[in-house]
Chain A
Amino acid sequence: MTPDLECQHLIKRFGETQAVDDVSFSVPQGSFFSILGPSGCGKTTIMRMIAGFLEPSGGDILIRGKSVLDTPPNKRPVNMVFQHLALFPMMCVADNIGYGLRRQGMAKAEIARRVEEMLHRINLPGLGQRKINELSGGQKQRIAIARCMILNPDVLLLDEPLGALDLKLREHMKIELKALQSEFDTTFVYITHDQSEALVMSDQIAVMNTGRFEQVGSGQELYYNPQTAFVAGFVGESNRWIGRVERIEGREAQVLTENGLTIFSSSQGSSLMTGDQVEIFVRPEAIRLSKKAENLDDLRNRLSGKVVSVLFNGAASNILFQAEEELEPIEVALPQSGEMTNLARGAEVAIGWTTDQARCFKWTDG
């Protein structure tokens, strides 16, 4: 099956800067694809090229197998939900939704019928005559999507549309967006800098940094099996050390950090050599916490020390652990199963993690 959207060796230069640097990917039909990256990484540039508001400096964009480079934005079979939604304030809701159909020259009665049907589908029946500024944030969101979906685009582009919403509503809209996507069964390409948005909604996520894709995969793959240091640091929380490889044994690298801590970590097949500078990432939730050091005997990395601080945050609570004065504190997830709830500052505890939970990547300065 031809993918709905395919980008081949896409390049965009602005003067000297390379905003998008040879990016290739394809999005299968009916899937939810996210591009996740910090601001300025080039994700908006990619999206605007797909929509047709920027011309690529090189490469090709194919929609359902056909190049669209010569198609102007108003003729492309993609539609876009803009960052600030860009609903037309001079029109009522129905006129906003019907705008694209009017452009196709459809008969008035038919437009009215389809708009009404669309309003039902997005659970806003009877709101057609409302003014845009009379709507709530969530309603605007749905109308911005409906305005595009009524045109049956091959691909719907979404440019961080949840950014302007408050936290509660954003959580709610994540679920709703995912539901809308499966309801319409259309390919969504979503860009965001918020990893939780990407992780919750997407079938596939591309993590982007400085114009390149670092890794493309499902949320689980990115989280459990990051391929680059950037992905390991950007997706999820991590403790991070910088150190030097002392010894290599199979896939296990013994690393001495700058502060003198020895960590056994997994090199995941990348060719490391003794003496290499590396970064090591360990997730707080991958670290086991125990009141007795002997419970952790089966773990390769073990430390005993004190609780420096308890960062209580409900289910996402962590503690800060310190083994010795000169070592930097380590964040450790606080298990919610009961025996640790009375843990207080100064308590003597032990922590440990396996070799596989500590991922090390070759480090190049800057």
Chain B
Amino acid sequence: MIPSIPQSRFVRFIYTAYVVLFFVYLAVPLIVVAIFAFNDSQFPSLPWEGFTLAWFFGDARPIIGIFHERTILSSILTSTIVGVSVSILSVAVGTTNAFLFNRYQFPGRGFLYVLMLLPLVVPGIVLGISILVFSSTIANAVWSGFSLELETLRPGLGLVVLGQFSFIATIATLVISARLQKFDQTLEDAALNLGADRLTAVRTITLPYLAPAMIGAGVVAFLMSFENFNTTLMLVGSDAPLTITMFDRMKEGSTPILNAVSLLLMVGSSLLALMMILVQRRS
């Protein structure tokens, strides 16, 4: 079942057909979403009422395009702010973690490593509620102890960032560790030998080497934050990120504006991913 092993034409044909079907299956929902963004109709479904760009640029009822739709625009901004925060936090902690696990042998290292992996196997919604419960416990205690209301510990963007960070940090750690592991430590020794001190050596030699992985981890973290739903749902306050806004819209009944948003998302994330691949390839 590799090319060098003779197979009957029939088996080969069936197999190829299967793979083609598989990719069709992967593509169809996305293609459908994209196409109906241009349907001049109130519903993202057949019949096809003609091509329009109104779901992007329309500014009068009945069709208000996304570029004139306040709630959606502001939730895109919210998602971006959350995404950037999560991505910066995750890369920072991911990098320190990578150095810790790669460079230090200490009692409890194995245990901490497994603990670090756990957020990947805890359902997102459970991460969300546990953080919700804990932050409320603190907020309530502060309230009854000092009569002080800590807004940041109530559902809102702060908690959303913390909730997403709690598991995206694991992924950033894994991505960055993988690259740090391949780093030839004698390069750092050479820098020391040439007169650099430990910190300078890390800053001038190791960090540039890690940069592609850090950028990669940052992009992945941003994308994961942008599309996160489960954890966010439990921690969100009045400012809704995009996924939550779209979810609410969809429950009310969808219009092609959702297709338009989705198409923008697809293009945006594909561009980001492409950029990441280019960065990775260059190194």
What 1/0 mask marks residues of chain B from 1 to 16 whose CB sits below 8 Å from any chain A CB?
Answer: 0001110000000000
What 1/0 mask marks residues of chain A from 38 to 63 whose CB sits below 8 Å from any chain B CB?
Answer: 00000000001000111100000000
CB-defined contacts of B4 to chain A, threshold 8 Å: 48, 53-54
Interface size on B, residues (CB 8 A): 3
CB-defined contacts of A314 to chain B, threshold 8 Å: none
CB-defined contacts of A73 to chain B, threshold 8 Å: 5-6
Q: List residues of B (1-46) whose CB comes within 8 Å of A's CBs.
A: 4-6
Q: A48–B5 Cα gap in the complex (Å)?
A: 11
Q: Who on chain B is nearest to A52 by CB?
A: B6
CB-defined contacts of A54 to chain B, threshold 8 Å: 4
Shortest CB-to-CB span from B185 to chain A, Å, is: 26
The answer to the question of A15 belonging to the interface, with a C-beta cut-off of 8 Å to chain B, is no
Q: A54–B5 Cα gap in the complex (Å)?
A: 8
CB-defined contacts of A72 to chain B, threshold 8 Å: 5-6
Interface size on A, residues (CB 8 A): 7
Shortest CB-to-CB span from B86 to chain A, Å, is: 40
CB-defined contacts of A53 to chain B, threshold 8 Å: 4-5
Q: Who on chain A is nearest to B2 by CB?
A: A53
Q: Who on chain B is nearest to A54 by CB?
A: B4
Q: Who on chain B is nearest to A53 by CB?
A: B4
Shortest CB-to-CB span from A306 to chain B, Å, is: 46
What 1/0 mask marks residues of chain B from 140 to 169 whose CB sits below 8 Å from any chain A CB?
Answer: 000000000000000000000000000000
Q: Who on chain B is nearest to A70 by CB?
A: B6
Q: List residues of B (179-207) whose CB comes within 8 Å of A's CBs.
A: none
CB-defined contacts of B6 to chain A, threshold 8 Å: 52, 55, 72-73
Shortest CB-to-CB span from A20 to chain B, Å, is: 16
Q: A72–B4 Cα gap in the complex (Å)?
A: 11
Q: A54–B3 Cα gap in the complex (Å)?
A: 9
CB-defined contacts of B5 to chain A, threshold 8 Å: 53, 72-73
Q: A244–B178 Cα gap in the complex (Å)?
A: 63
CB-defined contacts of A48 to chain B, threshold 8 Å: 4
CB-defined contacts of A52 to chain B, threshold 8 Å: 6
Shortest CB-to-CB span from A14 to chain B, Å, is: 13
Q: Who on chain B is nearest to A72 by CB?
A: B6
Q: A319–B5 Cα gap in the complex (Å)?
A: 52
Which of A53, A54, A55: most chain B Cβ within 10 A? A53
Q: A60–B5 Cα gap in the complex (Å)?
A: 18
Q: A55–B6 Cα gap in the complex (Å)?
A: 9
Shortest CB-to-CB span from B8 to chain A, Å, is: 10
Shortest CB-to-CB span from B233 to chain A, Å, is: 43
Q: List residues of A (96-133) whose CB comes within 8 Å of B's CBs.
A: none
Shortest CB-to-CB span from B211 to chain A, Å, is: 35
Q: Who on chain A is nearest to B7 by CB?
A: A72
Shortest CB-to-CB span from B46 to chain A, Å, is: 47
Q: List residues of A (51-86) whose CB comes within 8 Å of B's CBs.
A: 52-55, 72-73
Q: A72–B7 Cα gap in the complex (Å)?
A: 9
Q: Who on chain A is nearest to B6 by CB?
A: A72
Shortest CB-to-CB span from A86 to chain B, Å, is: 12
Q: A55–B5 Cα gap in the complex (Å)?
A: 10
Q: A73–B4 Cα gap in the complex (Å)?
A: 10
Shortest CB-to-CB span from B1 to chain A, Å, is: 12
Q: Who on chain B is nearest to A73 by CB?
A: B5
Q: A73–B2 Cα gap in the complex (Å)?
A: 12
Q: A273–B5 Cα gap in the complex (Å)?
A: 52
Q: List residues of A (298-343) whose CB comes within 8 Å of B's CBs.
A: none
CB-defined contacts of A55 to chain B, threshold 8 Å: 6
Q: A72–B6 Cα gap in the complex (Å)?
A: 7
Q: A73–B6 Cα gap in the complex (Å)?
A: 8
Q: A53–B4 Cα gap in the complex (Å)?
A: 5
Q: A54–B4 Cα gap in the complex (Å)?
A: 6
Q: A211–B240 Cα gap in the complex (Å)?
A: 69
Q: Who on chain A is nearest to B8 by CB?
A: A72
Shortest CB-to-CB span from B173 to chain A, Å, is: 29
Shortest CB-to-CB span from A72 to chain B, Å, is: 5
Q: A54–B6 Cα gap in the complex (Å)?
A: 8
Shortest CB-to-CB span from B9 to chain A, Å, is: 13
Q: List residues of A (252-298) whose CB comes within 8 Å of B's CBs.
A: none
Q: A352–B203 Cα gap in the complex (Å)?
A: 67
Q: A303–B120 Cα gap in the complex (Å)?
A: 81
Shortest CB-to-CB span from A116 to chain B, Å, is: 31
Shortest CB-to-CB span from B12 to chain A, Å, is: 14
Q: A53–B7 Cα gap in the complex (Å)?
A: 11
Q: A48–B3 Cα gap in the complex (Å)?
A: 13
Q: Who on chain B is nearest to A74 by CB?
A: B5
Q: A55–B3 Cα gap in the complex (Å)?
A: 11
Shortest CB-to-CB span from A70 to chain B, Å, is: 10
Shortest CB-to-CB span from A292 to chain B, Å, is: 57
Q: A73–B5 Cα gap in the complex (Å)?
A: 7
Shortest CB-to-CB span from A50 to chain B, Å, is: 13
Q: A53–B2 Cα gap in the complex (Å)?
A: 10
Sampled A-B contacts (10; CB under 8 Å): A48-B4, A52-B6, A53-B4, A53-B5, A54-B4, A55-B6, A72-B5, A72-B6, A73-B5, A73-B6
Closest 10 CB pairs of A and B: A53-B4, A72-B6, A73-B5, A53-B5, A54-B4, A55-B6, A52-B6, A48-B4, A73-B6, A72-B5
Chain B residues packing against A (C-beta within 8 Å): 4-6
Chain A residues packing against B (C-beta within 8 Å): 48, 52-55, 72-73
- 4 additional contacts (CB under 8 A) given A53-B5, A72-B6: A52-B6, A55-B6, A73-B5, A73-B6
